[in-house]
Structure 1
Amino acid sequence: MTRAQIFEFYRRLAEADPAPETELAWTNPYTLLVAVALSAQATDAGVNKATRALFERVDSPAAMLALGEEGLKAHIKTIGLFNTKAKNVIAAARILVEQHGGVVPRDRAALEALPGVGRKTANVVLNIAFGEETIAVDTHIFRVANRTGLAPGKDVRAVEDRLVRVTPAPFRAHAHHWLILHGRYVCKARRPECWRCPVADLCRFKPKTPAPPAAG
């Protein structure tokens, strides 16, 4: 896409949803960190269901350590890979207490040093909790960036780097949310809903998916 087309792409997404937010439930930077770590290979809705009671009881690394690994497992056993995730969350809580005074650091390297926290999770926390202009590339964003021609790349890091370069300044803070929501609800993996897409005329995907036949 040209610079003008990229600006228009984001402008339309912004017009449709001026203040997009994550669909994960969280109350502070620590609960956000936990929720994002638990969301790997799981749906936001599934994570929210599992953490509803958990976050009423636990909202800090110290409280997580007090709950313990087995206690945490009881809350998140409906989430995929819950054994590994529980182990990582407890280990991360211990590091946060011992090395960061129980506070989630506003620092990429420190975040990525936590067990179970990779670049994508760090980007989400930096963006949502601290307002950093980061873009966390998940499967939805990777698909949208490549399919539309917005920021094609062979892997998630290549797509992230290109998105950071081409996203106009007014849209950087919310770019992550607009793209993930567009991929989740419109530019779907198996059957993109091109007939109701606000950026269909800017998109490089062909052939466009036609609207389903009217019922009745």
Structure 2
Amino acid sequence: MLVTFHWACGMWAHRHARASGLHPHMLLARQDGGGYVARWVLRRYARARVRTVALADGKQVLFVPGSMQGLRDALQQKEQIIVVIDVPPDQVNLTAPQQVLGRTVHMPIALPRLAVEQRLPVTVFTLGLDLATGRRDLRLYPLGVQDDAQALSEKIFAHFERVVRERPACWHFWSVADRFFADLPAGGQRQP
């Protein structure tokens, strides 16, 4: 399982993965029409981006909610999955508390649990850009197979906090930070 964040130049990582012989499935939020009412340019951009990801990866995009069976099938076939995990807690059903940027936030826990249950090796990656040289900076952080979902999540979000502190302007989700740092997700639930 490859884990990353809405940070810097992550789209380029798909091309790097394919050039290295990987053909991962990207796990993405379902692109329903609700968020695009009267925003046709944004809707077209989102659809184009999904197509670009699928072309770059050479694999079908898996949408959530709804693709858990597709996700399980891909994992059973030993295919790689890319997960962008720093999503607002109102976008997922199951969360667990994490310390991020000095605050307690509720982050997705289902995929770290799946990684633990299926004994999947996890690698966190980031792809930044050196503004002085224009060179891309791909960093890989292998976490291996973990035995505890909460501990795995903490390790993942420690990397998230590090990159956001290093280059805060590169985080794409400042516009939804109020949802990201929400006390408890509306309609969501804490980890049992």
* TM category, shorter: under 0.3
Would you tell me which structure has more strand in proportion to its own residues? 2
TM-score by length of 1: 0.22
- Tell me which structure has the larger Cα radius of gyration: 1
- Of structures 1 and 2, the one scoring higher in RCO (CA 8 A, sep 6+) is 2
TM-score by length of 2: 0.24
Would you tell me which structure has more helix in proportion to its own residues? 1
